[in-house]
Amino acid sequence: MDTFFYDYFDKIKSHLDLVNQSELENFANIIIETQNNKNKVIVVGNGGSSAISSHISIDLTNAAKIRAVSFNDPAVITCFSNDFGYENWVKKALQYYADRGDLLILISSSGQSKNMIVGADYAKNIGINVATLSGFSPNNPLREKGDVNLWVGSTEYNIVEMVHNIWLLSVVDYIIDLNDRRGK
């Protein structure tokens, strides 16, 4: 019997287990604080991480009742990339749509995505909190940009993306559970 799937799921589980749970709780509290301050959560990623950002933003909005958006409209991405360069499209979108006190969640498997790094720098400069999710090298440049930096120690895109997705969904479910316990 081939053990590929057993080994694959075990690899994901081992990375899931390495998360610092207090970091996840801190991340959830930053999201809640953003909502309490009447601000919004903005979630951005490239490729598979872009799909994750869509999933998380709608779950935050619909299930956790937290105002959240993702920058995944192809017209926004291609317009700003064409006019200002791909490395600047996140920054440009933030200039148009973000407000001081918002929370920007940036998802990049490698932590090397220039558009995410430029976006993080811009956000910090204008008073937007930043949370990052990355993988690959522990010294990737995105990992040092956030108020919260969740990192997966793998160089396999699908492993990193699956762990990011599960961590993010666990934060959404944690917020829902907190709201249920508080009668909200």
Cα angle, residue 65 at apex, residues 89 and 125 outer, rounded to 5°: 35
pLDDT of res. 183? 85
Q: How far apart are CA 70 and CA 59, in angstroms?
A: 11
Kindly tell me if the per-residue pLDDT of 184 is higher than 90.
no
pLDDT at 63: 96
Order of all β-strands in the sheet with 103-108: 68-70, 41-45, 103-108, 129-134, 148-151
Per-residue pLDDT for 86 more than 80? yes
pLDDT for 1: 78
Asked if residue 33 has pLDDT above 90, the reply is yes
Q: Are 89 and 77 in contact (CB under 8 A)?
A: yes
Q: Which residues contact 10 (CB under 8 A, 6 or more apart)?
A: none
Residue 160, Cβ density class (10 Å: 0-12 exposed, 13-18 middle, ≥19 buried): buried
* Backbone phi and psi for residue 43, each to the nearest 5 degrees, phi listed first: -120, 130
Structural domains of the chain, with CATH:
4-181 (3.40.50.10490)
For 89-120, write each residue's pLDDT tens digit: 999 999 999 999 999 999 999 999 999 999 99
Stretch 4-25: mean pLDDT: 95
Mean pLDDT for the chain overall: 96
Residue 182 or 63, more confident: 63
Q: pTM for the whole thing?
A: 0.96
Which pLDDT value is given to residue 93? 98
Average pLDDT score over residue span 164-172: 97
pLDDT at 95: 97
